[in-house]
Amino acid sequence: MPTPSSLIIDTDPGVDDAFAILLALSSKECDVRAVTASYGNVALDKTFVNARRIVALAGRTDIPVAAGAARPLVHVQAEVAPEWHGADGLGMQSSGFPEPGPADPRPALDLMVSVLRESSVPVTIVCLGPMTNTALLLAAHPELTPRIGRIVAMGGALGMGNTRGAGEFNVYADPEAAHRVLTQPEVPVTLVPLDLTMNCTADDQWLETLSQAGPRCATLVRTAALYREATRERYNLDAIALHDMLAMLEAIRPGTLRTTPHRVNVACTLGPGRGMTVPDRRPDASGPLVDIALDTEGEVVLADALRYLSTLG
């Protein structure tokens, strides 16, 4: 699998998205070529501004940020997450961020296409929210799939989901898009599900250490306060799962997470199973394999993330 020297980050910021994006921007091991926003944790008008605030916090307003899908492919989005991310998407801390960087006037799809056409190396697409933008790219521009090194997506759950049904939030937001991405044979996919992210959590000491690394890090950590309270209330857990951060680490350094290949289908029904990611373990099953990240060295991963993010100061 190629080392991802070039990234497109497709995101719906989102507290854990902010940690993931800033981790990528702090890394010298990758080149973030574009950030594309979609609806998700909050509506597109907020996620688009948040993405631009995050790149501004990193001092990287040179990176183009474009707005993409405002809704799922087929059905209206059934659930948003203000109780986790705040009405502003950044834990009600958006006023502490710099003014948003410039908005790229192109639709997200056009920006993604431009990056792929211009890149001399394979590009990794990192999906941190609903997979709508990426599904549209794959459907509208199949000729560009050879230019995509792989897709790394945070989403899904082989066990318990975290929405009103059985699905994980990102997949539940647009199961049709997720099914399109996870069942296509052209581009390798690594899926980072709740089964892993809920077992690799950052405690108060980790957050405090990061906060002390500098004012930018302190701004980032402040976004997590509401998220921490919601985690305590729902899971009785005194630590937070920064789901998207794990996916970003795998995108930057392939092999950080240990994966198991499975064929995966997504339930696109309208019942309580909507959004479930269902592995097909039959020995005679057909279809493309998805590398599902189910294990890692948690302490090492968190130490690496802390090391990256602390360089922001």
Question: CB 220: neighbour CB atoms within 10 A?
Answer: 30
Maximal C-alpha separation, the chain: 55
Q: Name the E strands within the chain.
A: 6-11, 31-37, 65-67, 123-127, 148-154, 189-192, 202-203, 239-240, 258-266, 277-280, 290-295
Write the burial class of residue 185 (CB in 10 Å: 0-12 exposed, 13-18 middle, 19+ buried). Answer: exposed
Residue 82's pLDDT is 84
* Sequence-separated (6 or more) residues with CB below 8 Å from residue 283: none
Residue type, position 25, single letter:
L
The fold for domain 5-311 equals Inosine-uridine Nucleoside N-ribohydrolase; Chain A (3.90.245)
Question: Which of 3, 11, 63, 14 shows the shortest CA–CA distance to 223?
Answer: 14
Confidence of residue 5 (pLDDT cuts 50, 70, 90): confident
Confidence of residue 91 (pLDDT cuts 50, 70, 90): very high
Confidence of residue 21 (pLDDT cuts 50, 70, 90): very high
* Sequence-separated (6 or more) residues with CB below 8 Å from residue 216: 22, 57, 58, 312, 313
- Exposure of 68 in the CB half-sphere (CA atoms within 13 A): 35
Question: CB 1: neighbour CB atoms within 10 A?
Answer: 12
**Of 75, 85, 141, 243, which one is the catalytic site residue?**
243
Q: Distance from first CA to last CA of the chain, Å, rounded? A: 32
Task: State yes or no: pLDDT of 1 exceeds 50.
Answer: no
pTM of the model: 0.96
Residue 2's pLDDT is 44
Question: CB 272: neighbour CB atoms within 10 A?
Answer: 12
* Sequence-separated (6 or more) residues with CB below 8 Å from residue 135: 73, 174, 176, 177, 178, 180, 181
- 243 catalytic? Reply is yes
Q: Are the C-beta atoms of 133 and 109 separated by less than 8 Å?
A: yes
Pick the range with the lowest mean pLDDT from 49-53, 114-118, 189-193, 227-231: 227-231
